[in-house]
Chain A
Amino acid sequence: MDMNVLPRMHPDNLTEADRRLVAAIQHGLPLVSHPYAELGAQCGLSEGEVINRLAALLADGTIKRLGVVVRHRELGYRANAMVVWDIDDAKVSELGHCIGRFDFVTLCYRRPRRLPAWPYNLFCMIHGQDREAVLERVRQIEQHCGLAKVPHEVLFSRRRFKQRGALYAPVQSGMPR
């Protein structure tokens, strides 16, 4: 799922300063020459402290990446499909990694089956210029990863209702102690 979606939560593994920084940065970096100084002014940290904490949060993976978040439809990726496979549990990890190596796959996760209605346990997202491009990419995956005989379905999107990050709930007691 999109990881620019943030749970509404009170994370317990961050320092008070980190929480204020995360709350300040979630809406985006200011478009000014010294953006980290401006963020710091919003959350009571110096420019140097913001830079150090952001570098640490990036290094430990709490922030996966800093940069632009694009709207894929506006960029011409008009078709998007969730492709799901029913894969032997013993092989799902290996095949998940195989699928994830394609550069057009934006995410690839194992999820629970919901039998009998839903037998699929491996999910990936594929975006393409149109439906045929997406289907061609599914065929490439099948050939490369040996999935031709594995049951699968391609679920194209019809409508998108909401695409926004859920808001990070500022910590109630989030002021500096």
Chain B
Amino acid sequence: MDAVDRAIINALQEGFPVCERPYAAAAEQLGITEDDLLQRLAALREQKTITRFGPLFHAERLGGALSLVAMRIPAEDFDRVAALVNAHAEVAHNYERAHAFNMWFVLATETEEELQATLRAIEAETGYPVYNMPKLEEYYLNLRFAV
């Protein structure tokens, strides 16, 4: 990744034009050609530096239910429980964290009823309680990373 790649990542985390030739418009701002931008984006995606080039949705506005869920799992049982939890398609991502509450995952479902059903299924399969912590109020969401 060189200075131009960094400039591309920083600029295109801020937004992307909506016009007939958006890559040409973005490239002009960056002082490179449209072809160069397309090739570099393809390479960054190939290297997995960027996961996607596309939209960041306001999930609630599209409908559906989303929540952060925590569990307290004894260390010796963690991997077994992680495998059971991760097997659910509704689990979008899952982090092990250094705390008594050591498992934190995001559930995304079509409806609140499905979310509750998934929580009950995970409790039944794993034998541990889940702590459902849906977002009550959002103060900030950015997810941009300077490089």
Name A's B-contacting residues (CB within 8 A).
1-14, 22, 25-29, 31-37, 47, 51, 54-55, 58, 60-72, 74-77, 82, 92-93, 96-97, 99-101, 103, 105-112, 114, 117-118, 123-124, 127, 153, 155-166, 168-169
Whether the pair A107, B142 counts as a contact (CB closer than 8 A) is yes
Whole-angstrom distance between the Cβ of A46 and the nearest chain B Cβ? 11
Whether the pair A112, B133 counts as a contact (CB closer than 8 A) is yes
Whether the pair B93, A34 counts as a contact (CB closer than 8 A) is no
Residue of A60, A111, A162 touching B94 (CB-CB under 8 A): A162
**Cβ contacts under 8 Å, A14 to chain B:** 62
Beta-carbon nearest neighbor of B49 in chain A? A74
Whether the pair B109, A110 counts as a contact (CB closer than 8 A) is no
Interface size class of B (residues with CB under 8 A): 35 or more
Whether the pair B91, A162 counts as a contact (CB closer than 8 A) is yes
**Cβ contacts under 8 Å, B20 to chain A:** 34, 36-37, 47, 51
**Cβ contacts under 8 Å, B68 to chain A:** 1, 111, 123
Also in contact, A4 and B56, with CB within 8 A (given A33-B24, A70-B49) = yes
Whole-angstrom distance between the Cβ of B72 and the nearest chain A Cβ? 8
Whether the pair A155, B99 counts as a contact (CB closer than 8 A) is yes
Whether the pair A157, B96 counts as a contact (CB closer than 8 A) is yes
Whether the pair B139, A93 counts as a contact (CB closer than 8 A) is yes
Interface residue SS majority, chain B: mixed
- Give the distance in Å from the alpha carbon of A174 to the alpha carbon of B41 in the complex: 31
Whether the pair B137, A110 counts as a contact (CB closer than 8 A) is yes
Also in contact, A62 and B145, with CB within 8 A (given A31-B41, A34-B21, A51-B19) = no
- Give the distance in Å from the alpha carbon of A177 to the alpha carbon of B58 in the complex: 26
10 CB-based A-B contacts, threshold 8 Å: A9-B63, A9-B64, A10-B110, A33-B38, A63-B55, A64-B55, A107-B140, A109-B136, A109-B138, A162-B86
Whether the pair B48, A74 counts as a contact (CB closer than 8 A) is yes
- Give the distance in Å from the alpha carbon of A75 to the alpha carbon of B57 in the complex: 23
Whether the pair B110, A9 counts as a contact (CB closer than 8 A) is yes
**Cβ contacts under 8 Å, B66 to chain A:** 1, 5, 7
Whether the pair B140, A105 counts as a contact (CB closer than 8 A) is yes
Whole-angstrom distance between the Cβ of B8 and the nearest chain A Cβ? 8
B121 CB within 8 Å of chain A: no
- Give the distance in Å from the alpha carbon of A35 to the alpha carbon of B109 in the complex: 29
**Cβ contacts under 8 Å, B24 to chain A:** 33
Beta-carbon nearest neighbor of B142 in chain A? A106
- Give the distance in Å from the alpha carbon of A52 to the alpha carbon of B82 in the complex: 43
Beta-carbon nearest neighbor of A114 in chain B? B131
Whether the pair A8, B49 counts as a contact (CB closer than 8 A) is no
B24-82 contacts to A (CB < 8 Å)? 24, 34, 38, 41-42, 44-45, 47-59, 61-66, 68, 70, 72, 82
